Amino acid sequence: MLRQGRYETVNKKIEKKSEKKDGQLILRLDKDERDEFVKLCKKMDTSASREIRRFIRSFMKENGA
């Protein structure tokens, strides 16, 4: 049996996962740069998409959006 606080945390995680992203950003970049970026992300146990999203959020925060 889960304690109330833990149950709420589990519910929040489930809710967060069910929020779907519905926008796309298509980039054109050099194939070798893309391949190296993806390779580096895998080496760091992350995904290219996650790192691009993290960059965008950071950029927006730093620039007042």
Q: Are 20 and 10 in contact (CB under 8 A)?
A: no
Q: Are 48 and 37 in contact (CB under 8 A)?
A: yes
Per-residue pLDDT reduced to its tens digit, 2-51: 556 666 666 666 666 667 778 999 999 999 999 999 999 999 999 999 99
DSSP letter at 27 equals -
Q: Are 41 and 47 in contact (CB under 8 A)?
A: yes
User: Token pair of 9, please?
Assistant: 């945390």
Predicted TM-score of the model (pTM) = 0.65
Domain boundaries, the chain: 27-65
Q: What pLDDT is recorded for position 20?
A: 78
Q: What pLDDT is recorded for position 50?
A: 96
Calpha distance 10→53 (Å, rounded): 24
